[in-house]
Amino acid sequence: MAATTPFHSMPLDQADGLRRLFARAQVRFVPVVSNPHVAFGGVMLERLCSGFAEQGCHTLVVDAAESSPEPNEMAWVDLSACVETLSSEVSYLAARGLPLRYVDARGSTAGMLDAVQRAAPSADVVLVHASASDLCRLFMHHDLLWRPRPLLLADDHPLSVKQAYASMKLLTQRGGLVVHDLMLAAAPESPRAERIAIQIATCADDFLGAVLRDWIQVDPASDARSPSTPALQRWVRETLQPASGLAASGHPAPMELRAPAFN
């Protein structure tokens, strides 16, 4: 069945587009690249939400990954009714397959970003957890004032690393998203974690013309109630800041790959 393109009403006045643009600029959309070979994907999303909560942000998780729950049947009628409040800091929207309902003639599904913001106006951060192909359609034709950095997920096993690199390649070549971050689930004593980050960064630079700007190591066995690691705290603060590190041309400024920090 062909995807249905949503009907968008004409602007009420000439300033309507500007109002929508600047309203959207107040929300930070964070593309989180799903990885079916990561065993602790849910834990990693929880750690991200905790990190933003520590900065006083309310986070909406839009879960559109391949293995995520399907949206409620009310999603097309009233998306706000499908947003589930998990706590005072986190809301959740089951959204597998939902982006394609917003596809337009260009193949873009960026209209879903507008719909999500209207459905959850209190969200400061929207984590969009989806496949690389879905994230390309969502963000390659966006009108956001900044260029988002996709956050790759992986652990210290070969299949997950291979999938993370394949996702980076797709996001770079199809979506034009050339600056990436990496969240790696691994025990603090893992001998492979740093080598994996260096390998991905090197391959990105040598073969894709892309940049792995930063990486965070998260221990999936750590207590979820513990404070975020210094590395995650730093990444969250930088993510919430106005876009930096990009030249006017949109090309990434070079940055030294950082090693993770632990509590």
CA distance 243 to 147: 7
10-18 LR contacts (CB < 8 Å, sep 24+): none
Tell me the residue type at 91. S
Confidence of residue 23 (pLDDT cuts 50, 70, 90): very low
- For the stretch 228-261, pLDDT in tens is 999 999 999 999 987 544 433 333 333 445 544 4
Mean predicted lDDT score pLDDT of the chain: 86
Q: Among 244, 187, 242, which Cα is nearest to 213's?
A: 244
Q: Dihedrals φ, ψ of 205, to 5°? A: -75, -45
Tens digits of per-residue pLDDT, 36-66? 999 999 999 999 999 999 999 999 999 999 9
- Give me 37's structure tokens: 């070979």
Q: What is the pLDDT of residues 117-168, one digit of tens each?
A: 999 999 999 999 999 999 999 998 766 657 789 999 999 999 999 999 999 9
104 class by beta-carbon count within 10 Å (0-12 exposed, 13-18 middle, 19+ buried)? middle
The CA distance from 183 to 220, in Å, is 11
Question: What value does the CA radius of gyration of the chain take, rounded to a whole number of Å?
Answer: 18
What pLDDT is recorded for position 230?
A: 96
Q: Identify the three-state secondary structure at position 70.
A: coil
Residue that the structure tokens 């969240």 belong to: 183
Q: What span, in angstroms and rounded, lies between the C-alpha atoms of 43 and 81?
A: 25
Supply the pLDDT for residue 147: 76
Spell out the residues 6+ positions from residue 227 whose beta carbon is closer than 8 angstroms to its own: 54, 233, 263
Give the model's pLDDT for residue 254: 39
Share of the chain above pLDDT 90, in %: 76
pTM: 0.84
